[in-house]
Amino acid sequence: MNKISLPSNCLLKYSFEGNNFFVLDDTRNPTLSFKDRASSLVALKAKELGIKEIAAASTGNAGSSLAGICARLGLKSIIFVPKLIPEAKRIQIQSYGAEIYLVDGDYDLAFDTCLEISAEKKIYNRNTGYNPLTIEGKKSAAFDIFMTTKGKMPDVIFIPTGDGVVLSGLYKGLWELKKLGWIKELPKLIAVQAEGSNAVVRYMKNQKFEYMPAKSIADSISAGAPRCLYMTYDAIIKTKGEAIQVSDTEILEAQKFVAQNYGILIEPSSSSTFAAYKKYISQNKLLKQTALLLFTGNGLKDTSALKNWNHSIEPSTSKFIKEKFFNK
C-alpha cells in the first residue's frame, strides 16, 4: 500500500456574535490530527527510498500520526514522548504497534533524545521542524484552503503554535500560491500560543530567545524551544500578522463552547484559536475581515482535558431515573 488518503472539503463555516468565520477541520484525518499531512509525506518518502524504520519525538499527535501511517505502509515507527503526555495519545501510539519510549522529561528533552539516537543508529528522523518534509507536508493546508474557497482566501488565519511548523508550512504554501500568481495577497497569520508556552510571543517583542520550560493544558503546542522559531517570526512579519497568547482557562472555555455550540470536539491546542478569535472580536480587530481558524486535533485524544469542564456522573437505579422523568 503506497497511498495515503486525507479528507478533502474540510472547510466549514460558522457564526459567532454575528460574525462569520471558517474552520479548516483536520480532526477527521486518519489519525485525527493535522500531523497526518506531514507524516504521510515523510513515510511515503521513506518507503520510496527503501527505509524500513522512522523515529520521531512527539507530545502525542505526531507520534500517533507516524505510528498509524507506518502501520499502514508496513514500516516500523519508534516514538519518543514525554512521560506526562495524555494517556489517550499514548494508548493510540501503542495501538498502532509502535515502539514507544516515555522520556523522563518534557518535549524538548524527548526531541533531543530522539535526534541523538537517530544520528547514532542512522534511523530516519521525522522530528517536527527537523525533517524538512514536515513543512512540505503541512503546506498542503494552504492548497486545501485555496481550492475549497476557489481562490477567495481569508484575510486572517489563526494558527495554534508551539514549534511553529504548522504556521511555517502554511506560510510556505501561501507564498507559493502568490508566486504562481494565483492569489494577490497573503492572509495575515496569527500565531496563537498558550500563556505557559509563549516563546514566539516573547520573541516577537524583543527578538531575543530565552529558554523557558513550557507548561500548559494544551500539550500539543507546549514547546519551550520552538524548532521553527525564526521561520515563524519571518512568516508573521511578512504577512503583517502577530503572535498572541491565551490562558489555559480561556482555552478550556473555548473548547467547551465549540463543542456545545458547533458540535466539534477539539483538543485544547485547537480551541486556543477560537479563544484568540473571541479576543479579536471583542477588541474589534476583525472589522469586515474574513477569518479562518485551524482545528488541528480531535478532542478524544485528550480526555483528561475534557474532565475539567465535564462533571462526573454517579449511576442511578432504573426506578430513580423513571421517577425523575415521569414525575416532572
Here the cell at position 241 is 500578522
pLDDT band at 232 (very low <50, low <70, confident <90, very high): very high
Q: How many CB atoms lie within 10 A of CB 263?
A: 8
Please state the domain extents for the chain.
11-29+135-306, 36-133
DSSP state string for 251-302: HHHHHHHHHHHH---B-HHHHHHHHHHHHHHHTT--TT--EEEEE-BBGGGG
Question: CB 82: neighbour CB atoms within 10 A?
Answer: 21
Q: Quick count: other Cβ atoms within 10 Å of Cβ 19?
A: 15
Phi first, then psi: what are they for 56, rounded to 5°?
A: -155, 145
Topology, domain 11-29+135-306: Rossmann fold (3.40.50)
Please state whether the predicted TM-score (pTM) of the whole model is above 0.75: yes
Cell numbers of 10, please? 474540510
Cell matching residue 64: 500517533
Q: Is the pLDDT of residue 162 over 60?
A: yes
Q: What is the pLDDT of residues 65-120, one digit of tens each?
A: 999 999 999 999 999 999 999 999 999 999 999 999 999 999 999 999 999 999 99
> Would you say domain 36-133 falls under CATH 3.40.50.1100?
yes
Per-residue pLDDT tens digits for 203-231? 999 999 999 999 999 999 999 999 999 99
CATH fold match for the domains 11-29+135-306 and 36-133:
yes
Mean pLDDT on 26-32: 95
pLDDT at 251 over 70: yes
Helices 140-149, 165-179: axis angle to 10 degrees equals: 50
Q: Is the distance from CB of 228 to CB of 254 less than 8 angstroms? A: no
pLDDT at 314: 87
pLDDT score, position 288: 87
Question: Mean pLDDT throughout 138-165?
Answer: 97
Banded pLDDT at 166 (limits 50, 70, 90): very high
- Answer yes or no: are the C-beta atoms of 248 and 196 closer than 8 Å: yes
Q: What is the dihedral of CA 64, 66, 68, 70, to 10 degrees?
A: -150
Cell of 264: 466539534
Amino acid letter, residue 306: L
